[in-house]
C-alpha cells in the first residue's frame, strides 16, 4: 500500500478526535520514517512498509491520546521542543507570555535575573535565553521529571549555561534577592472542572490550581510582592480577571495590566510592584 493510500485509510480512524485527520496521519508516518512533510509529499506514491507500527500509533491517538506524546515533540515560538508523558504539553497562547516578557527585558542594558516558577518542559526559560542576550534564569518546578525534560530541551537549544534548574515549590529554594522578574504559567484550573479527554493524559498537578483555580496564582502574587520583585508576569484562566484584580487592590498594587489570547479570552497579566 502506498503512503497516499495509507493516509486515506487511517485518516478515517482519526476523524472523531481531530479536525485534521489526514495531516495527523502524515505526521505519524513522517515520525516513523524520520522524514519531513516535504519528503512525504514528494514520495506519496511510494510503498509504505511500516503499517503495523503506524496502526499502533493510530489506535492510541484514536483514544484521544495526545499527538505530541506520540511523536515526543511540539513546536513553540517557531522552535522544536522535546515532549514527554508526565510533563505538560506547551500551548500556543503561552507564546504571548514570552512576548510580554521580551518587551520588558529587551531594553535593559545590564544582566537581568529572571525566575520562572513551574518551568515544565522549559519552553519559557529557553525562549527567553534565546531571545535575550544578557540574562540569567532560575527555573523551578516541583516535578523532577519536568526538570529532567527541561534540561534536555535547554541542552538541545544550547542555553544550559544561562539557566539554573532547581527543584522548588514556588520560592522555597530561591534565596536570591536580586530577581528583576518572575514569570509563570502555573496551574490555574479549578479542581472541580471536568477536563476534555485528551487533556486527562497530562499531569494533574500542572493543571489544577485549587478549589476556585486562582489559589496558586494568588500565592505567587503575594510571595512576589513580599520578595520585592519588580515585575511579575503570569498566565491565568479566562474567567479569573475579576478575582485577581480584586486581589491586586487588596495588596494595594496599582500598576498592572491584563492581556487577551488569540481567541480574545483574558489570558494573563503583568504586575509592576515598584
Pair 129, 219 in one domain? yes
* Tally of domains in the chain: 2
What range defines the domain where residue 203 resides? 90-272
Pair 46, 125 in one domain? no
74 lies in a domain? no
Whether the per-residue pLDDT at 191 is higher than 80: the answer is yes
What does the radius of gyration of the chain's CA atoms come to, in whole angstroms? Answer: 21
> Which pLDDT band, with edges at 50, 70 and 90, does 219 fall under?
very high
> Which pLDDT band, with edges at 50, 70 and 90, does 107 fall under?
confident
79 lies in a domain? no
Whether the per-residue pLDDT at 3 is higher than 80: the answer is yes
Q: At which of 63, 80, 110 does a domain end?
A: 63
77 lies in a domain? no
190, 213 Cβ separation under 8 angstroms: yes
Predicted local distance difference test score (pLDDT) of residue 89: 97
Pair 145, 24 in one domain? no
Compute CA distances 164 → 88, 141, 181, 228, whole Å: 20, 11, 15, 21
Q: Tens digit of pLDDT for each residue in 132-186?
A: 999 999 999 999 999 999 999 999 999 999 999 999 999 999 999 999 999 999 9
All cell numbers assigned to 2: 502506498
Q: In what order do the strands lie in the sheet with 255-260?
A: 163-167, 135-141, 112-117, 181-184, 231-235, 266-272, 255-260
pTM, rounded to two decimals: 0.94
Q: At which of 46, 63, 80 does a domain end?
A: 63
Q: Residue 170 class from Cβ within 10 Å (0-12 exposed, 13-18 middle, 19+ buried)?
A: buried
Pair 135, 266 in one domain? yes
Q: Residue 177 class from Cβ within 10 Å (0-12 exposed, 13-18 middle, 19+ buried)?
A: exposed
Whether the per-residue pLDDT at 236 is higher than 80: the answer is yes
Pair 127, 239 in one domain? yes
Predicted local distance difference test score (pLDDT) of residue 274: 73
3-class SS of residue 168: coil
What lies within 8 Å, CB to CB, of 169 at 6+ separation is: 140, 142
Residue 106's CATH number: 3.40.50.150
Angle, helices 94-105 vs 123-131, to 10°: value is 30
Amino acid at each position: 500500500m502506498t503512503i497516499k493510500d495509507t493516509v486515506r485509510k487511517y485518516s478515517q480512524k482519526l476523524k472523531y478526535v481531530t479536525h485534521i485527520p489526514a495531516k495527523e496521519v502524515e505526521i505519524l508516518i513522517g515520525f516513523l520514517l524520520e522524514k519531513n512533510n516535504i519528503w512525504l509529499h514528494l514520495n506519496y506514491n511510494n510503498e509504505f512498509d511500516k503499517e503495523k507500527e503506524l496502526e499502533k500509533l493510530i489506535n492510541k491517538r484514536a483514544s484521544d491520546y495526545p499527538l505530541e506524546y506520540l511523536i515526543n515533540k511540539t513546536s513553540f515560538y517557531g522552535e522544536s521542543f522535546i515532549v514527554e508523558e508526565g510533563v505538560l504539553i506547551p500551548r500556543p497562547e503561552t507564546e504571548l507570555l514570552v512576548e510580554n516578557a521580551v518587551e520588558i527585558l529587551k531594553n535593559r542594558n545590564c544582566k537581568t535575573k529572571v525566575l520562572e516558577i513551574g518551568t515544565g518542559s522549559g519552553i519559557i526559560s529557553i525562549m527567553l535565553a534565546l531571545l535575550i542576550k544578557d540574562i540569567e534564569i532560575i527555573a523551578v518546578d516541583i516535578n523532577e521529571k519536568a526538570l529532567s525534560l527541561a534540561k534536555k530541551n535547554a541542552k538541545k537549544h544550547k542555553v544550559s549555561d544561562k539557566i539554573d534548574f532547581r527543584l522548588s515549590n514556588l520560592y522555597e529554594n530561591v534565596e536570591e534577592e536580586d530577581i528583576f522578574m518572575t514569570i509563570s504559567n502555573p496551574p490555574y484550573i479549578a479542581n472541580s472542572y471536568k477536563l476534555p479527554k485528551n487533556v486527562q493524559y497530562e499531569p494533574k498537578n500542572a493543571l489544577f490550581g485549587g478549589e476556585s483555580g486562582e489559589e496558586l496564582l494568588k500565592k505567587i502574587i503575594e510571595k512576589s510582592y513580599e520578595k520585592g520583585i519588580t515585575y511579575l508576569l503570569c498566565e491565568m484562566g479566562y474567567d479569573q480577571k475579576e478575582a485577581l484584580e480584586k486581589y491586586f487592590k487588596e495588596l494595594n498594587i496599582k500598576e498592572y495590566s491584563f492581556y487577551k489570547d488569540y481567541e480574545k479570552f483574558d489570558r494573563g497579566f503583568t504586575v509592576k510592584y515598584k
